[in-house]
Amino acid sequence: MDEVFRTSSPPRFSASGPAPVEKTSPNEEANPKPKNEPLYQCTFCHQNLTSKSWKRHEASIHLPQSQWVCQLNGGCVHSPSKSMDGSPIDSKHCVFCGILDPDNDHFESNHRSAECALKPVAERSFQRKDHLKQHCRLVHEGFVPNNQVLESWQVQADYSHHRWSCGFCGEKLEGWDERAKHIRKHFQAGLTMADWNSEKCLETDADGLFNEFTEYLE
């Protein structure tokens, strides 16, 4: 009897009817987020942030404050010294190997200096000192300047004309503020880092500058 009652009982819902509405479990609301407050995430480390903390977090944690510029002050270091009779001499040394009074030929035949010297500063700037050292090894025939020279190539980082690409839509953006303004709109529209494609950032930055930042993604 029981069987009959069970099978003949009306279906709880018909196939064509509306699907049963699953009540959201109370657990999902344990961590409530105001509906009008979009989620902001760090585009480097993916940490969840608020609209207010987002830009500051990215700059302070992920943007190096210094840059190193290959041959910032040319190919020579000037080290004033005194001759035997006490008169001042300005001795010039090659920044790469330290040789005294190098001529143009020395730079070209030993260090391929022009590879950098003729480029705009932005294209010979490095976010980390060891990247600059690596650059010297690869490009300047293995000669890495001494630490004193390297320190003299250090400058305050300037991102006002740095080129970025948006990982959401691939648009090219110039300058840190422009980038923040643009990416903010995507977060406000509801995108999250799950929608971010770091390859979009890479393909448009053929100059290699952006690539230095990708290590922060790992």
Q: Which residues of the shown chain bind Zn ion in the complex (CB under 5 A)?
A: 42, 44-45, 47, 61, 70, 94, 96-97, 99, 116, 166, 168-169, 171
Coil, helix or strand for 70? coil
Residue 28 or 181 having the CB closest to Zn ion: 181
Which string of b and e fits 170-187 if b means at least 16 CB within 10 Å?
eeebeebebbbebbeebb
Closest distance between Zn ion and the C-beta of residue 134, in Å? 11
DSSP string, 97-130: T--BS--HHHHHHHH-THHHHTS-GGGGEESSHH
Closer residue to Zn ion (CB): 70 or 201: 70
Within 10 angstroms of residue 71's Cβ, the number of other Cβ atoms is: 24
44 vs 176 by CB, closer to Zn ion: 44
Smaller CB separation from Zn ion, 61 or 155: 61
Distances (CA, A) of 167 to 22, 34, 126, 139, 156: 35, 26, 22, 30, 26
In the complex, what is the shortest distance from the CB of residue 195 to Zn ion, in angstroms, rounded to a whole number? 10
**Cβ 210 vs Cβ 176: under 8 Å:** no
Return d(Cα 129, Cα 151) in angstroms, integer: 9
Q: Which is nearer to Zn ion, 97 or 209 (CB)?
A: 97
Instruction: Give the position of tokens 């609209």.
Output: 51
**49 DSSP β-pair partners:** 40
Min dist CB 83 to Zn ion, Å, is 23
As measured in angstroms, the least distance from the Cβ of 130 to Zn ion is: 14
Least distance CB 111 / Zn ion (angstroms): 6
